Amino acid sequence: MTQFTLAGENGRLRVALENCPAGSLSCRATVEIEVPGYRAEGKVWLSRAALAAFASELRACDQSLDGAARLTSDQESLSLTVTYQRRSGRVEVTGAYRQTMVLANELRFGMLTDQSYMAESLLQVEQCVSSLL
């Protein structure tokens, strides 16, 4: 199972790719979100193109220490933004998760981390993309 984790001072998000049939455009994944007082776990579908774009944006942010990288699941049940703040050296991870699109229940989350901790996360995201080729 290929996965990546974004961890911060006050939370953690893990995405584990489970089912990526050869030739398919999307992969099924389990998402786990833990922030103070809340925890969510569920399934999402992520397109190969969205994962590749996220990895590319994340690499650009990491190199410039500025900007934002975004990842959105196929049915928009997961949206994720990683924002690098050049002046402070901080990285903010924000997003929203819905287990079903029928109900309006939604977990909006945010966590803070540091640019130095993002190197491992970036490597994991790039390994996920490589595994899909």
The rounded distance, in Å, linking the Cα atoms of 75 and 66 is: 28
pLDDT at 102 over 70: no
CB of 46 closer than 8 Å to CB of 70: no
Domains defined for the chain, CATH in brackets:
2-131 (2.30.31)
List helix spans (H) across the chain. 48-64, 118-131
Residue 101 binned pLDDT confidence (cut-offs 50, 70, 90): low
The rounded distance, in Å, linking the Cα atoms of 50 and 68 is: 14
- pTM for this model (two decimals): 0.91
Q: Considering the chain, what is the average pLDDT of its residues?
A: 90
pLDDT tens-digit series, residues 38-73: 999 999 999 999 999 999 999 999 999 999 999 999
User: End-to-end distance of the chain based on CA atoms, in angstroms?
Assistant: 15
Report, as an integer, the average pLDDT of 4-22.
89
